Each structure stands twice: as structure tokens, then as C-alpha cells.
């Protein structure tokens, strides 16, 4: 019996890229740090919120690389003169990646009370009906 994958299904033409995106996302190495939420704020609007306590705006970067939203955090070198009796607040660098569907764009980003909010919007495509002429062969 032949295994049928998403990219090889006869009714799904041109979706082989979707299968590659799923594989790339699985390999992106996203662990649980920092914790995050994803909310749908409207029919075509989403918000990703990351808990980034201790990171300033200059310590964070947000890029879109090949339809992949990448959030990186790296704090400046720690002050060597500080002596911690207990260190429970994580200060390690991180990278989070989210694959964006075609038509989903970053609308903006803000930090509030140690949370990084990234707003996404999906463009509503126009409905187009196209008639194809059939030529005699």
C-alpha cells in the first residue's frame, strides 16, 4: 500500500510547499521558552504574545524571513559584579519561529509590562471568477 502525502494527493495541486513548511516548522527547534499565547482578535486578525520579562526593546528583534516570523531575544552581557543568591528569572537568549500563511502580514509590535505583543493581519482576498475558453485541438 502506498502512503499518500499531502503534496501527492491528486486533488491538491501545488500544495507540496505546505508539506515542506510543516517539516521546516517541526525542525525549527522551538522549545517552551519564552512562554507565549496566540489569540484570534478578529476574523482576520491574530496576536502572538510572548513573556519577555527582563528584555528591553533593544534586546529583541522581529523579522520575517521567507514567510517565517522569527522573534529573537538576547540580553546584553550581565554585570559581573552582581552576586545572585538565587537566580530564578531566565535571562537566556531565545529564538521563536512561526510560519505565516500567504496573505498574513505583521501589523505591528509593542511591549507592555514584560509582554511582547505582535499583531498579525490576514488580507481578505477578492473573489475572482475566471472563465477559461476551450479551444478545438
Specify the CATH number for the domain of residue 92. 2.60.40.790
Domain contains 113? yes
pLDDT above 80 (res 131):
yes
Q: What confidence category does residue 76 fall into, taking pLDDT thresholds of 50, 70 and 90?
A: confident
Rounded Cα distance, 42 and 121, in Å: 9
Domain contains 80? yes
| Number of independent structural domains in the chain | 1
Pick the closest to residue 51 from 96, 86, 84 (CA basis). 96
Domain contains 55? yes
Domain contains 39? yes
The model's pTM = 0.73
Domain contains 10? no
Query: Cell numbers at residue 13, please?
Result: 495541486
Pick the closest to residue 75 from 89, 58, 63, 87 (CA basis). 58
Q: Which residue segment(s) compose the domain that 90 sits in?
A: 30-122
Interval 52-71: pLDDT, tens: 988 999 999 999 998 899 99
DSSP sequence for 7-60: GG-TT-TT-HHHHHHHHHHHTS---S-S-EEEEEEETTEEEEEEE-TT--GGGE
Amino acid at each position: 500500500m502506498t502512503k499518500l502525502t499531502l503534496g501527492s494527493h491528486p486533488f491538491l495541486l501545488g500544495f507540496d510547499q505546505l508539506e515542506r513548511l510543516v517539516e521546516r516548522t517541526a525542525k525549527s527547534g522551538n522549545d517552551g521558552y519564552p512562554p507565549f499565547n496566540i489569540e484570534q482578535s478578529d476574523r482576520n486578525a491574530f496576536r502572538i504574545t510572548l513573556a519577555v520579562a527582563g528584555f528591553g526593546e533593544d534586546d529583541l528583534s522581529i523579522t520575517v524571513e521567507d514567510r517565517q516570523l522569527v522573534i529573537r531575544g538576547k540580553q546584553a552581557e550581565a554585570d559581573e559584579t552582581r552576586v545572585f543568591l538565587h537566580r530564578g528569572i531566565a535571562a537566556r537568549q531565545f529564538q521563536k519561529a512561526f510560519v505565516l500563511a500567504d496573505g498574513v502580514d505583521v501589523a505591528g509590535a509593542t511591549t507592555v509590562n514584560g509582554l511582547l505583543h505582535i499583531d498579525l493581519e490576514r488580507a481578505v482576498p477578492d473573489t475572482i471568477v475566471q472563465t477559461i475558453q476551450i479551444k478545438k485541438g
